[in-house]
Structure 1
Amino acid sequence: MSDRRQPARREVWITGVGLVSSLGEGLDAHWAALADTPAPVRDETSFAPYVVHPLAKLELDKQIPKRGDQRQMEPWQRIGTYAAGLALDSAGIKGNKDILGTTDMVVAAGGGERDQAVDGSILSEIEKQPNPELYLSERLQADLRPTLFLAQLSNLLAGNISIVHGVTGSSRTFMGEESSGVDAVRIGWARIAAGTSEIALVGGAYNAERRDMLLLFALRHLAMQAPWSPVLKAAKGVPTGSAGAFLVLESPEHAKARGATPIAKLSGVWSDRARRAQEGTEAAVTATLDHLIGLADPAAPGTAILSGATGAPEPTRAEAEVLAKTGLPVRSVTDRLGHSLEAQFPVALALAALAVSHGRLFAPLEGEPIEKPFDGALTRAIVTGVGHWRGEGVALVERA
């Protein structure tokens, strides 16, 4: 009779983190901002009546030195490529061709950005044309750059990271909003844990300062309108935020061989998709998220939850119910940085690794009723990622 026992999974270390958001760039800037518990950085006028958390100003030359590379990228690609460079710096492998040549990459990405000026001009004039179809064809051929459609390919973020930073191992790109961020991390973690990869760069990026995406949210009545309010308190809409986050995941054996120490340990990533029917969405999300959190052993001491709750009414109300029921200290990532769709789960993981590495949880945000003070030693953080209309995920970050 064959032995069907599965081989033991290896530990997976987080050895590098790159994070950019409305709070700044890098781990030190984010920890300082979170420790001071200031009002979240938000813009309620540029895209009125909608709330947006704008990206802090970046000196792109520091991580994307060639101006030609910067020009050919869309904003979300520049955000992601910059954050990836920070992660490689944090892990101590920036410029190390031997390691970067074997570093796998798993990216969560959207489908690109529209040329808003061209779109607006066409929409303003097309109804005046005797032959709208011919007019549209001519305008598209004349006004759109030949690379526009290539720039909309989701896998160009991975391509730009490879070109700029020399990450040339295997590459995978996931689309699918919040779920893609969960799965990008899950696949990177699973391959290292199973022994089929030694080191991986995982993460994503999102540019919230764009009217095309705000329009999509607004049409579905999901965009948060001013004034801003905490998402777990009222769940009146999604306050999108520009952000990029990448993590370097590594096997302990590989890290030790190059003298690297872990920031934290990624002990598990689980994902699912509740059956969100028109009726019963909240109950389905509640049951699924309750199960996923249970896999992370919430009863263990020193545990807190970092929630990526979106602010979309039904799933956020369901998540708030589950989080309150756990009795654990909770912190909302969206309240502090905004919601960054594909990048939201990596962003939340970056903050979890940061908090666990410091051994303490940052202070609760005023006005968020679920958030309670926690002065104990933080050794574990459960990260949640519930999509605004589909997909649920949970990860466990522990002190290494």
Structure 2
Amino acid sequence: MTREVWITGIGMTSSLGEGLDAHWQAMAEAEHPTPVIDKTTFAPYPVHPMVPLDFSQQIPKGGDRRQMENWQRVGTYTAGLALDDAGIAGNLELLSNTNMVVAAAGGERDLAVDQTILEGVGAAESPEEFINERLSNDLRPTLFLAQLPNLVAGNIAIVHKVTGSSRTFMGEELASVSAVEIAARRIRADQGDIFLAGGAIIAERKDVLLVMSGAGWAWTGEPASVWARPEKGGGIILGSVGTFLVLEAREHAEARGAKPYARLGTVLSGRSRREPGQAAEIAAEQFAAIRKEAGDRRLAMLTSASGLSPLTQEEQGFLAGLIARGELDTVRAVPNMLGTSVEATFPSMVGLAALALSRKGFYRPADDTGFETPVTEAPTAIAVNSWGNWRGEGMGLVEAID
């Protein structure tokens, strides 16, 4: 497992815009990076809304667009951007050998059914029987079948003719780590030369916000840095994001003359019960491997810190220790600008890391607590760190290609 993995294509959509230039301008070139947040549509829950997209540019057939939900359209659209960026869109021979690994959540729920259940369950003599009866009689099988997570990969295959192997992961942030991890491992093991890996989420969904609120995770105050939220009870602000990466074996990319953004190094995943200190313990083991691989390169970090308490406080303490010991230059919490993007989290950070390395720069702080410090010299390696809001700890390394 020694083959180099190059990142040769990046497709990205979010509240900040479509494409890499839009994200670079908003996060690196703007003197004061400012997130795009909708505070009113789903009040009291703020969200980072998806920028308006002309889906016909990547999904030309109206029938294809109509049979997809919005989150599927975003995923299929963004995958098309990555294929375009890598220079393989329309190359049927190459696409037939392109493999997919996708991170996806469940589809949109039937809100009318949910509302009926929520309104009636409290007054029901037997809540369990009431729920079973309503689910049996009110849910439409065709609706359920249209929301299966693996349909994102299916739609990408239909629209963009990506017809190699396909795998879909569910499981929040850890699914996004696994999508990139498995693609990279298979390339290194010579089980494929080129992969499309990524995920998409639409935060502007009442059902998703209901789940977040019910779990006690949703932030309802004025938007604030993830590092500031724990002191006020903690909470997540969701963001609509789509990110897909084209990952490729170095020799395969060189043979077709592809120019890489960066090299993807080790990607590691773990899982703890989240007892105090466990997530930091796993992350410390992961970082030790990342730091060793990075050698003497200047190392910065992108993290998906969510703003939850006490999880974010534990992560901040872990990162502060790395900075104090000189093992890490600085850190940027990507959710400050994009929101928490769950299944799109890890590909987004890998894509942003590769973009920064290719442009020999880094992102400005979007944090008023002072924890995120400016860089005096651009990093030549960037670690990406993702702790799921419930389970799962992942970390990876992205390096500049000299």
Taking structure 1 as the reference length, the TM-score comes to 0.91
Closer, same or farther in 2 for the Cα pair 1:140/1:379, shift >3 Å? same
Closer, same or farther in 2 for the Cα pair 1:332/1:129, shift >3 Å? closer
Local SS of the residue matching 2:228: helix
- Contact conserved, 2:183 with 2:197, CA < 8 A, in 1? yes
Q: Displacement of 1:324 after TM fit? A: 1.2
Q: Displacement of 1:122 after TM fit? A: 5.9
State yes or no: 1:250 paired with 2:248: yes
- Residue in 2 that maps onto 1:136: 134
| 1:352-387 superposed Cα distances (whole Å, 9 cap, x missing partner) | 111111111121124142210103132110000100
| 1:213-254 superposed Cα distances (whole Å, 9 cap, x missing partner) | 111111121101120111123331111000010000001111
State yes or no: 1:179 paired with 2:174: yes
Local SS of the residue matching 1:383: strand
Amino acid at match of 2:318: V
Q: Which among 98, 115, 129 is matched to residue 120 of structure 1?
A: 115
Q: Which among 222, 225, 238 is matched to residue 236 of structure 2?
A: 238
- Residue in 1 that maps onto 2:346: 345
Q: Which among 310, 313, 329 is matched to residue 317 of structure 1?
A: 313
- Residue in 2 that maps onto 1:20: 13
Amino acid at match of 2:199: G
Distance 1:107 1:222 in 2: 25
- Residue in 2 that maps onto 1:303: 299
Residues 84-123 of structure 1 mapped to structure 2, 5 A cutoff: 84-121=79-116, 123=118
Residues 32-181 of structure 1 mapped to structure 2, 5 A cutoff: 32-34=25-27, 35-36=29-30, 37-121=32-116, 123-124=118-119, 136=134, 140=138, 144=140, 146-181=141-176
Local SS of the residue matching 1:52: coil
Distance 1:357 1:24 in 2: 20
Q: Which among 258, 261, 264 is matched to residue 260 of structure 1?
A: 258
Residues 193-272 of structure 1 mapped to structure 2, 5 A cutoff: 193-235=188-230, 236-272=234-270
Distance 2:338 2:117 in 1: 34
Amino acid at match of 1:284: Q
Local SS of the residue matching 2:227: helix
Structure 1 unaligned segments of length 5 or more: list them. 1-7
Q: Displacement of 1:191 after TM fit? A: 0.5
Amino acid at match of 1:164: V
Aligned-pair RMSD on alpha carbons? Answer: 2.1
Q: Displacement of 1:289 after TM fit? A: 1.0
Amino acid at match of 1:357: S
Closer, same or farther in 2 for the Cα pair 1:137/1:38, shift >3 Å? closer
What is the number of equivalent residue pairs in this alignment?
386
- Contact conserved, 2:174 with 2:391, CA < 8 A, in 1? yes
Closer, same or farther in 2 for the Cα pair 1:171/1:121, shift >3 Å? same
Closer, same or farther in 2 for the Cα pair 1:137/1:172, shift >3 Å? closer
Structure 2 unaligned segments of length 5 or more: list them. 324-328
Amino acid at match of 1:290: A
Closer, same or farther in 2 for the Cα pair 1:218/1:138, shift >3 Å? closer
Local SS of the residue matching 1:201: strand
Distance 2:284 2:10 in 1: 28
Q: Displacement of 1:299 after TM fit? A: 6.5
- Contact conserved, 1:54 with 1:242, CA < 8 A, in 2? yes
Closer, same or farther in 2 for the Cα pair 1:294/1:68, shift >3 Å? same
Identity %: 49
Q: Displacement of 1:135 after TM fit? A: 7.6
Closer, same or farther in 2 for the Cα pair 1:223/1:134, shift >3 Å? closer
Closer, same or farther in 2 for the Cα pair 1:98/1:225, shift >3 Å? same
| 1:49-76 superposed Cα distances (whole Å, 9 cap, x missing partner) | 1121111111111111111111111111
| 1:138-163 superposed Cα distances (whole Å, 9 cap, x missing partner) | 8626xx3x531112211111001101
Distance 1:337 1:133 in 2: 36
Q: Displacement of 1:347 after TM fit? A: 1.0
Closer, same or farther in 2 for the Cα pair 1:17/1:286, shift >3 Å? same
Closer, same or farther in 2 for the Cα pair 1:366/1:163, shift >3 Å? same
Amino acid at match of 2:110: D
Greater shift in the superposed pair: 90-99 or 109-118: 109-118
Closer, same or farther in 2 for the Cα pair 1:367/1:127, shift >3 Å? closer
Closer, same or farther in 2 for the Cα pair 1:133/1:198, shift >3 Å? closer
State yes or no: 1:389 paired with 2:390: yes
Q: Displacement of 1:317 after TM fit? A: 1.3
Distance 2:13 2:296 in 1: 31
Distance 1:233 1:128 in 2: 40
Greater shift in the superposed pair: 22-31 or 312-321: 312-321
| 1:28-49 superposed Cα distances (whole Å, 9 cap, x missing partner) | 1111111213321111111111
- Residue in 2 that maps onto 1:398: 399
- Residue in 2 that maps onto 1:3: none
- Residue in 1 that maps onto 2:326: none
- Residue in 2 that maps onto 1:30: 23
- Contact conserved, 2:33 with 2:364, CA < 8 A, in 1? no
- Contact conserved, 2:10 with 2:86, CA < 8 A, in 1? yes
| 1:280-322 superposed Cα distances (whole Å, 9 cap, x missing partner) | 2xx1111111211121116633211001112221221111111
State yes or no: 1:326 paired with 2:322: yes
Distance 2:266 2:131 in 1: 52
Local SS of the residue matching 1:44: coil
Distance 1:347 1:197 in 2: 22
- Contact conserved, 1:315 with 1:387, CA < 8 A, in 2? no
Local SS of the residue matching 1:300: coil
Greater shift in the superposed pair: 177-186 or 373-382: 373-382
Amino acid at match of 2:259: T
